[in-house]
Amino acid sequence: RKEVEQDPGPFNVPEGATVAFNCTYSNSASQSFFWYRQDCRKEPKLLMSVYSSGNEDGRFTAQLNRASQYISLLIRDSKLSDSATYLCYLYSNYQLIWGAGTKLIIKP
Amino acid sequence: DTAVSQTPKYLVTQMGNDKSIKCEQNLGHDTMYWYKQDSKKFLKIMFSYNNKELIINETVPNRFSPKSPDKAHLNLHINSLELGDSAVYFCASSPRLAGGSEQETQYFGPGTRLLVL
């Protein structure tokens, strides 16, 4: 089993819709979790950290399910500018593990 | 006032050449990283330095040698370039390597697109 798995997509979603995707991980000792977004031919940028109790930042909600070993990202009222690749990143004891990303395309 | 900068942005070179990529951060962070992102888009950690000290050294050919003259700079030198080295190389920094989400959040440079012919 890969250390981190993400559905590569693309997810084609109409503007205004809600979309969610997951990132499953195999290392139960993973300590810190993050969602980054990467636009085409650009560097990854932090979207949000993922806290144990779940957290929200505007239209974005991140959740952590330790029992099932996944994190999720929910985007409400999606905008054209949300089109990007979303990478999950996990850190644990000097192990830096990145997912390959889920590509999201928001259509007008 | 760029936070993490890399030079050059593009590098096209012949197989067998030696090249260097420079990285600088003005965020006052202690930890810096080099990543390789290949055509499949996987971000793979290569090296990490904390206060000029190498702390992560993944399985990378020894043709790749990082150098950190001070904690704001982390350069990557590549000897005898091979076709398979073609990729985007990202430098990043974080306040610390560990210590919770705020300390571990990484900030990336714009990347160096390396093409080996």
pLDDT of residue A1: 61
Subunit contact B43:A87, Cβ cutoff 8 A: yes
Residues of B in contact with A33 (CB under 8 A): 101
To the nearest 10°, report the CA torsion of B12, A40, A73, A23.
-40
Reported as half-sphere exposure (CB side, CA atoms, 13 A), residue B42 has a value of: 10
Residue of B nearest to A51 (CA): B101
Q: How far is A61 from chain B (nearest CA, A)?
A: 16
Tokens of B84: 């398979």
From residue A97, give the alpha-carbon distance in Å to each of A4, A35, B65. Answer: 7, 12, 22
Q: Is B29 exposed, middle or buried (0-12, 13-18, 19+ CB in 10 A)?
A: buried
Helix (H) / strand (E) containing B102: helix B101-104
Q: What is the pLDDT along chain B (117 residues), one digit of tens a residue?
A: 669 999 999 999 999 999 999 999 999 999 999 999 988 788 999 999 998 899 888 889 999 999 999 999 999 999 999 999 999 999 999 998 877 777 889 999 999 999 999
Subunit contact B41:A44, Cβ cutoff 8 A: no
pLDDT of residue A37: 97
**How many residue contacts between A and B have a Cβ separation below 8 Å?**
49
Q: Per-residue pLDDT tens for A15-57?
A: 999 999 999 999 888 889 999 999 999 999 999 999 989 999 9
pLDDT of residue B63: 96
The per-residue DSSP string of A12-62 comes to EEETT--EEEEEEES-TT--EEEEEEE-TTS-EEEEEEE-TT-EEETTEEE
Of A33, A45, A100, the CB nearest to B42: A100
Look at A3 and B17; give whichever has higher pLDDT.
B17
pLDDT of residue A85: 97
CB of B39 within 8 Å of any CB in chain A?
no
pLDDT of residue B9: 96
Reported as half-sphere exposure (CB side, CA atoms, 13 A), residue B46 has a value of: 26
Q: What is the DSSP letter of B103?
A: H
Contact present, A95 and B58 (Cβ < 8 Å): no
Q: How far apart are the first and last CA of chain B?
A: 34
CB of B42 within 8 Å of any CB in chain A?
yes
pLDDT of residue B1: 62
Cα B66 to Cα A44: distance, rounded to the nearest angstrom: 21
Tokens of B72: 């704001």
Task: Report the DSSP beta bridge partners of residue A63.
Answer: A72
